[in-house]
Structure 1
């Protein structure tokens, strides 16, 4: 029986794509890197870091500086973020239905905490951040252990193929949401357990899964 729902942040709760592109372009303008056309975002997201650097004219030794500037800029711009339409209502309904809510993200905890406070999204019992794109699986397993949850008592909700893979490694089922960064063609091969086309689908899926014994 499902008791806990674990959410990704960027692309799942927070609509951050436009802000991320704007932030990169401001940094690129400062250091004379190639600007990123929003229409090319999905293409660059599919490349390796080295390929991105080559195509955008970023010397590989500048990557640590770029990451540092990006993290600083994100924190300074977090107040511009908005939740996707329907997310606040869905979260309140999940909480009222008795689900425990948590966040596992590669973003920084201070950014997530600020966002939740700005938009009055209370009710999350745990916020875990890895700071690494590949660290979610470990954090999910740690969350399950700390909260004495079996793998059939929690689900992860995310928007990217790596979210599905992290859930698989953790042994829990995953809801892929269609409004985030990855398109269905990108995640199809990872076989998400459930697909949510709109936020209220998450409530329906979670309640149906909870009813199964």
Structure 2
């Protein structure tokens, strides 16, 4: 498809627009420390990203307690720790996070397109980060992990964006850094550009067969020429 047919650009947030890992990891380890549990290194926490807060905390807590991210946890404890992490992260989500180099310029250069955020991050933190980065005005709709009953990789967030802009699936491309984003696009029948500066290695992204693999933000412009 010619790039000029992509009238809607949907962006993932963490690992695509924003290098958010430092604040996520610090907040998660602060939560574990309060509970008296062993801390985790950033690389391990990075491997747990992509499926939302609940999955992140469950994997991290399981690993901290047992060394196994699939360790079965008691539901009441998991909810308590997850709620505490949400509070800590909400207060710290803009401390060390930053936009990747070149992202503000790309958002401006693509501002003639309709743009959206589709993230599994909760709306509270998403909104705070977009305001902090002063980029919220670029997006016609922001769809967070708690905006709908379903989140990525379910197609519902994409379908909401399409309804909002009154466009068809062939008119939309999702830009993200994870296999969750690739699966989301496939499930929704839209195009996907996978970026390599985020939290998933190139080999894993390539195996998932996105429509485009992008190594630098400025390369995104070639899709729309």
The two structures share one fold, judged by TM-score above 0.5: yes
CA deviation map 1:14-57 (0-9, x unaligned): 111111111111111110112102243455569x8776544310
RMSD: 2.3
**Equivalent residue number for residue 104 of structure 2:** 88
CA pair 11-125 structure 1, distance change in 2 beyond 3 A: same
- The gaps in structure 1 that reach 5 residues or longer are 209-213
Taking structure 2 as the reference length, the TM-score comes to 0.82
* Greater helix share, structure number: 1
* Partner in structure 1 of residue 69 of structure 2: none
Q: Which residue is equivalent to 1:9?
A: 13
Specify the alignment match of 1:66 in structure 2.
81
* TM-score for both structures, normalised by structure 1: 0.86
What's the counterpart of residue 184 of structure 1?
A: 202
Cα distance, 1:189 vs. partner? 2.3
1:99 and 1:163, CA in 2 relative to 1: closer, same or farther beyond 3 A?
Answer: same
CA contact 1:105–1:136 (8 Å) conserved in 2:
no
Residue number among 149, 158, 163 corresponding to 1:145 in the alignment: 163
C-alpha contact (below 8 Å) 1:3/1:99 kept by paired residues: yes
Q: Provide the aligned length of Structure 1 versus Structure 2.
A: 204
Structure 2 residue matching 1:55: 3-state secondary structure: helix
In structure 2, relative to structure 1, the CA distance for the partners of 1:104 and 1:54 (3 Å cut) is closer
| Partner residue, 1:197 | 215
Equivalent positions of 1:115-130 (< 5 A) are 115-121=129-135, 122-130=137-145
Q: Spell out, residue by residue over 1:102-127, the C-alpha distance to the aligned partner (whole angstroms, 9 max, x if none).
A: 10111122322222222221221100
Partner residue in 2 for 1:102: 116
Question: Which runs of 5 or more structure 2 residues have no equivalent in the other structure?
Answer: 67-71
Matched with 1:25 is 29
